[in-house]
Amino acid sequence: MGNASSIEPTKTIFLDIDGKKEKIMFSRHCGSRDIHDLIAHAAGVSRYAEISLKDSAGAFVSLNPTMPINTQSSPYKVTSKEPSPTTDSSNGDGEVFTQVLSQVASQFNNHFSKEGVFKVEEMKTDIATRLSALERKMELEGLKAVEIEKCKRDISDIKDQIWNAQKKFVDFNRLSRDTHIMNRKQTLSTYRKYTLSQETIEYLKQPTFDIWHWEPNEMLSLLEHMFHELGLVAEFNINPITLKRFFLCVQENYRNNPFHNFRHCFCVTQMMYGMIHLCHLWEVMTREDLGILMTACVCHDLDHPGYNNTYQINARTELAIRYNDISPLENHHCAVAFKILSNPECNIFANVDKDTFKRIRAGITMLILATDMARHGEIMDNFKMKLEPEFDYKNKDSLDTLKMVLIKCCDISNEVRPMEVSEPWVDCLLEEYFNQSDREKMEGLPVAPFMDRDKVTKPTAQIGFIKFVLIPMFETVAKLFPVIDSTMVEPLRIARDRYEDMKEKNSMPPPPSQSNKKKTVTEK
């Protein structure tokens, strides 16, 4: 029985590639992207090629682990098309894209703990003393099983503190001990109600909104305004005090990471608010849909440890174990969101009926899970199919796909904003990249080249991502909402050109020194 259960079941699919019969095999644990890459390899095309399968009846077959098994006599016909970037690409673009898209998932942490900045030597001495005492206690006293387990956890925590103090890292590979969902009545006095000017109210609806000018409490008030202005408070009969507590609790459950922090949460939510107004989404969606979109944005990175899914899986962290290596971060964000909503003091959906809440929960979960960049190709391929011949807003599956694409756009929309707003985010992102790669090197884990501080630069980090991910995605959405082309796609093209110029300047050899010039003249 033990041997049988350890055998990994595989699925065999037969393919027809330009008249040549091929066979691929994969396990049920493979993702859609893995299967796509496997077929691309068999077809002799790049992993960025668009690939579609058709059965013998001419029907499209979805590229996922649940695809129907076929036979050698009825193979799936493979059609592939290489991507064509919006401008001529240099020889290094493919490598950049490989680096970026392979693990762009979701991004990354460096929390400068006060303990790591102040009195480091004193703390190290104190911690070493405590560690030694705990280890002697375990060896000499023969503690009971429960006590031993507790001491092991304490020792592990202390070792992490030593490492964190030296490297100024926080403990990232564990879940937060407790989600902060306590009653926030005592802190409501610190959450001032700001009076927003009409200029700010209108500016808040624009993709160019500068998110760096606002303090945390001001961002809370702006979020509150968005929910009121969109009619969500009235739609869900939300108690205004409960809404305040909800936002406070959300803010408290974002860690102080360089990138994945509460300001990023606000940034993504504000962009969604801007797209709702820019595209007049209330004309094609219900207020319930808008509420799901906005709440998913608010919660989409809750308790993000700052280290991506690849690290979680390779390091076999508690998150990866809990969620079986399947989108561990995104599943955790969902769990924390509904843990917060499980508290009556913070439950903004407390006054909706059971069926409505069931739809809301399913919708929020679907959207947060869609932010895993490992699913990017799958979601975009599905969306493109929904656009032909004409998008059907009345079809639930089509509308769900549109909502997934919208939250994806907002999640990685920084380069849509003006340069002075977007560029600081690149620095924050690289800081998280470098912290993760430093840790991976220490632990002997694989390091992605685009996260290695010795290999990546700001232009190389952005060019491929903008050219092959952002521009194609926003151009596809612009087919449905043409207004996006001038307000979002064009800024992306400008950003791409700016980084390409930056890369070219960085690669130019320095001019010869003045002394060399004089010597050359003399030699002649």
Alpha helices, DSSP H only, in 388-480? 396-411, 419-443, 458-465, 471-478
According to DSSP, residue 26 is labeled: E
Residue 462 is assigned to a ligand binding site: yes
Residue 14 is assigned to a ligand binding site: no
Distance, in Å, from the CA atom of 365 to the CA atom of 363, rounded to the nearest integer, reads 5
Residue 213 is assigned to a ligand binding site: no
pLDDT at residue 99, rounded to an integer: 54
Distance, in Å, from the CA atom of 244 to the CA atom of 225, rounded to the nearest integer, reads 11
* Sign of torsion over alpha carbons 474, 477, 479, 481: negative
Beta strands in 29-125 (DSSP E): 50-54, 60-61, 76-81
Distances (CA, A) of 493 to 101, 208, 436, 502: 19, 15, 29, 14
Residue 301 is assigned to a ligand binding site: yes
pLDDT at residue 215, rounded to an integer: 93
Residue 343 and residue 471 in contact, taking contact as beta carbons nearer than 8 Å: no
pLDDT at residue 95, rounded to an integer: 55
Query: 85, 13, 25, 100: which is closest to 49 by C-alpha?
Result: 85
**Residues that are catalytic:** 260
Q: What is the pLDDT along the chain (524 residues), one digit of tens a residue?
A: 444 444 456 788 899 998 888 888 887 777 788 888 889 888 888 888 888 888 888 888 888 888 888 888 889 899 988 876 554 444 455 555 555 455 544 444 444 444 444 456 677 777 878 777 776 666 666 545 555 655 655 675 565 555 445 434 334 444 544 455 444 444 444 456 778 999 999 999 999 999 999 999 999 999 999 999 999 999 999 999 999 999 999 999 999 999 999 999 999 999 999 999 999 999 999 999 999 999 999 999 999 999 999 999 999 999 999 999 999 999 999 999 999 999 999 999 999 999 999 999 999 999 999 999 999 999 999 999 999 999 999 999 999 999 999 999 999 999 999 999 999 999 999 999 999 999 999 999 999 988 999 899 999 999 999 999 999 999 999 999 999 999 999 999 999 999 999 999 877 666 655 444 433 333 33
Residue 263 is assigned to a ligand binding site: yes
Residue 260 is assigned to a ligand binding site: yes
Residue 262 is assigned to a ligand binding site: yes
Three-class DSSP labels, 268-299: HHHHHHHHHHHCCHHHCCCHHHHHHHHHHHHH
Residue 47 and residue 37 in contact, taking contact as beta carbons nearer than 8 Å: yes
Residue 346 and residue 181 in contact, taking contact as beta carbons nearer than 8 Å: yes
Query: 371, 384, 329: which is closest to 109 by C-alpha?
Result: 329
Distances (CA, A) of 295 to 212, 231, 334: 22, 13, 11
